[in-house]
Structure 1
Amino acid sequence: MSRKTKRKHVFKEVLEDDMSLPADHQTIVRILSTKGNNLHEVLAPDQSTFLVSMPTKFRKNVWVKRGNYVLVEPIEEGDKVKAEIVRILTNEHIKYFKEDNVWPAEFDEKKKSCDGADDDLLVNTNRLHLIASSEESGSDSDESEDYSDDDVKK
């Protein structure tokens, strides 16, 4: 099977909304980070972290990133790798699982109110932030220098 044909079938399987509920042995987990070699560190609803593997049919065809939710099935072969990804969950899956009360309560995202939300904002470390007090802002006009056209050309 050519790479293009394989990718078409994988995308059809992933994007086709298979809205079946997870089986008893399957678990919904959140991706924490990628560890290389198609391994991902995940967070389970019981707050434990472990490694899961990406099956070969998804490799180089589907990507997951931090914060995505996946459905995993446990494997017995490895010591460090505890499960394998079965399905990558979309927003439609999440909505359907919440309606059927299958979604873990630990993964419910609480919306923050606007009151005091500025405290939770991340600081952009790529920008230099100067904090100036009201006393320093008055002295800015004294420190400014006038450049003549000759100085600019040099």
Structure 2
Amino acid sequence: MSQATKRKHVVKEVLEDYVTPTENQQIVKIIGSRGNNLHEAVSAQNDTFLVSMPTKFRKNIWIKRGDYVIVDPIEEGEKVKAEINFILYKDHIQFLQKQQLWPEGFSEEKSQDLTSKKQEKETKLEEEDEMKEEGSDSEDDESDLFVNTNRCNFQYSESEEEDSEEEEEEGEEQRTENRS
């Protein structure tokens, strides 16, 4: 099987199949990458350990901090205690919650995240209302623009008088250079 065909089947399997964990498997949350296809994970009981990514997922499926995965335990492992069997996305998580197979430790975490997001949205809406009441135009407000910290900050002026004065000064400098 070619590499492209293999990748296609792996991606299709991860996105379309709905898997439930067996008795020896467990659902864990990825809390960081340790390199060399190892990821640090935390279980619903707050046990932290390393999990390895099998070769079928490498360079095909990417996981990041905060993702949930189903893992198979490795008995002989001292540091690496499990291997990733399946990567869970939003649809998979909702399916597991409907089946009541989702760990309670992660359910509490989800509800806390949702309440904090709701509070953030409410504060943003309040700030927007205040801005509208003040009468400031959102078109002129550039505070939400991305600022590249790797570049020098330049102050640009929009007055036409300064531009014409600068052009005259540059013209005089060029004339003096041409004379000498």
TM exceeds 0.5? yes
1:9-88 equivalences under 5 Å are: 9-17=9-17, 19-88=18-87
Equivalent residue letter for 1:6: K
Identity of aligned residues (%): 49
Which runs of 4 or more aligned residues in structure 1 lie more than 3 Å from their structure 2 counterparts after TM superposition?
115-118, 147-154
Larger Rg: 2
Return the offset for 1:21: 1.9
TM-score (norm. length: structure 1): 0.72
**Number of the residue aligned with 2:128:** none
- Output the aligned Cα RMSD: 2.6
Equivalent residue letter for 2:2: S
Return the offset for 1:6: 1.3
Of stretches 4-13 and 74-83 in structure 1, the one that deviates more from structure 2 is 4-13
Return the offset for 1:22: 1.0
Task: Mark the CA change 1:117 to 1:72 in structure 2 (over 3 Å): closer, same or farther.
Answer: farther
Return the offset for 1:149: 5.8
Summarize deviations over 1:78-100 as a string: whole Å, max 9, x none.
21000000000121111111112
Work out the CA distance in 1 between the residues paired with 2:102 and 2:123: 27
**Number of the residue aligned with 2:133:** none
- The aligned length equals 131
Return the offset for 1:41: 0.4
Of stretches 105-114 and 59-68 in structure 1, the one that deviates more from structure 2 is 105-114
Structure 2: 5+ residue runs without aligned partners?
Answer: 125-146, 150-161, 171-180
3-state SS of the aligned residue for 1:114? helix
3-state SS of the aligned residue for 1:29? strand
Work out the CA distance in 2 between the residues paired with 1:114 and 1:56: 41
Summarize deviations over 1:19-48 as a string: whole Å, max 9, x none.
242111111011101111100001110011
3-state SS of the aligned residue for 1:47? coil
Work out the CA distance in 2 between the residues paired with 1:148 and 1:7: 58
Higher helix share: 2
Return the offset for 1:77: 2.7
**Number of the residue aligned with 1:105:** 104
Return the offset for 1:3: 1.1
Structure 1: 5+ residue runs without aligned partners?
Answer: 119-125, 129-146
Return the offset for 1:148: 8.8
Higher relative contact order (CA 8 A, sep 6+): 1
Work out the CA distance in 2 between the residues paired with 1:15 and 1:44: 23
Summarize deviations over 1:113-145 as a string: whole Å, max 9, x none.
438857xxxxxxx789xxxxxxxxxxxxxxxxx
Summarize deviations over 1:40-71 as a string: whole Å, max 9, x none.
00111001111000001111111101111000
